[in-house]
Amino acid sequence: MVLDRPGTPLRAADLPDPEPGPGQVLVEVAACGVCRTDLHVLDGEVPATRSPLVLGHQVVGRRAGTRERVGVPWLGWTCGTCRYCTTGRENLCPRARFTGKDLDGGFAERMVADERFVLPLPEGLDDLHVAPLLCAGLIGLRTLRAAGDPATVGIYGFGAAAHLVCHIAVWEGRRVFGFTRPGDAAGQAFARELGAAWAGGTDEDPPEPLEAALVFAPAGELVPLALRHLAPGGTVVCGGIHMSDIPSFPYADLWMERSIRSVANLTRRDGEELLELAPRAGLRTRVTAYPLERAQDALDDLRAGRFEGAAVVVP
């Protein structure tokens, strides 16, 4: 399924089999998760550097000719020599290339990937259910870790990343409060089912001040709102790659050592941490499966909020 240019729907195409170059592996795709970033690339808010482009960066497959199961995440290649790469921050490498943006991704039957950036996958979760860990899970965990060791965690926007980080945070003994669009009773019930101690609309106040507020919805107006829910010393962490503008707010809301920060991309170390933690935490994903040729429907349903959890396309 290829994207010819931003703003147009994905198109089914028969492409020649990709040929692995030096250091690359050929992957037979078994499942590929659908991420909000795919929507941002589709819409041109995150600019792709190839055309046509195969989207998809939560790829589960087998190394061609073997039964070895591998995951291909968003971070597809880094330079390995810059200041960021050599200080454990390869997620910020200015020359990094990303799967499904700069490199063809997993909305396909086959793809190639750099051998150094594929992740080994844990047993216990099948192809369909492990796929959303590869971005939603990774970014969710990185977002939580960016807030330190919070006792109380608010989660704003209860999609794929939120449903995974909620489970992890509860498993780690944190009290979680889930925020959805006002009136989204199904979303709030889903948050409580995942262990949230409280769930409500973004127009409501949490029962306790938050030490961390994790914002996954791409709505900038949530940032000052989340800031007002923070305890002194607390942190708002923005987990998305794109967000509408953040409205201004009084300095008093930021004072008392509150902070606002973002997370970007992932490191391979994040992948190792999550994939090691997932089986121990009994991490379960809620998945809606779509055949590959319906990838555009999966993206449309994500945009419209027509499912809970994560969508996965299956070739």
Shortest spacing between CB 120 and Zn ion, in angstroms: 20
Asked if residue 73 lies in contact with residue 60, where contact means CB atoms within 8 angstroms, the answer is no
Measured between alpha carbons, how far is 127 from 33 in angstroms, rounded to an integer? 10
Residues 133-152 that bind Zn ion (CB under 5 A): 135
For the window 9-38, what string marks contact with Zn ion as x by the rule CB under 5 A?
A: --------------------------x-x-
Q: If binding is defined by CB under 5 A, does position 92 make contact with Zn ion?
A: no
Q: If binding is defined by CB under 5 A, does position 85 make contact with Zn ion?
A: yes
In degrees, rounded to 5, the angle at the alpha carbon of residue 76 between the alpha carbons of residues 8 and 288 is: 55
Residues 210-239 that bind Zn ion (CB under 5 A): none
Please pick, from the candidates 1, 10, 75, 93, the single residue that binds Zn ion as defined by CB under 5 A.
Answer: 93
Shortest spacing between CB 135 and Zn ion, in angstroms: 3
Shortest spacing between CB 82 and Zn ion, in angstroms: 3
Element (H, E) at 41: helix 36-43
Site residue total, Zn ion (CB under 5 A): 8
Q: If binding is defined by CB under 5 A, does position 79 make contact with Zn ion?
A: yes
Q: Which stretch binds Zn ion (CB under 5 A): 101-109, 129-137, 221-229, 249-257?
A: 129-137
Measured between alpha carbons, how far is 141 from 217 in angstroms, rounded to an integer? 16
Cα 230 versus chain centre, distance: 24
Asked if residue 140 lies in contact with residue 310, where contact means CB atoms within 8 angstroms, the answer is no
> Which of the 8 DSSP states describes residue 103?
B
Q: Which stretch binds Zn ion (CB under 5 A): 79-87, 151-159, 197-205, 264-272?
A: 79-87
Question: Please, which residue, 37 or 285, has the CB nearer to Zn ion?
Answer: 37
Measured between alpha carbons, how far is 110 from 155 in angstroms, rounded to an integer? 35
Q: 149-152 — which CB contacts under 8 Å span 24+ positions?
A: 150/174, 150/210, 150/211, 150/212, 150/234, 150/235, 151/175, 151/211, 152/176, 152/177, 152/206, 152/208, 152/209, 152/210, 152/211, 152/212, 152/231
Question: Please, which residue, 82 or 170, has the CB nearer to Zn ion?
Answer: 82
Listed in order, strand segments (DSSP E) in 91-151 are: 97-98, 110-114, 119-120
Shortest spacing between CB 22 and Zn ion, in angstroms: 19
Shortest spacing between CB 64 and Zn ion, in angstroms: 24
Shortest spacing between CB 179 and Zn ion, in angstroms: 21
Cα 28 versus chain centre, distance: 22
Shortest spacing between CB 252 and Zn ion, in angstroms: 35
SS3 state at 174: coil
Copy the structure tokens of residue 41.
Answer: 């690339």
Shortest spacing between CB 144 and Zn ion, in angstroms: 16
Cβ burial, residue 185 (10 Å; 0-12/13-18/19+): exposed
Interface positions with Zn ion (CB under 5 A): 35, 37, 78-79, 82, 85, 93, 135
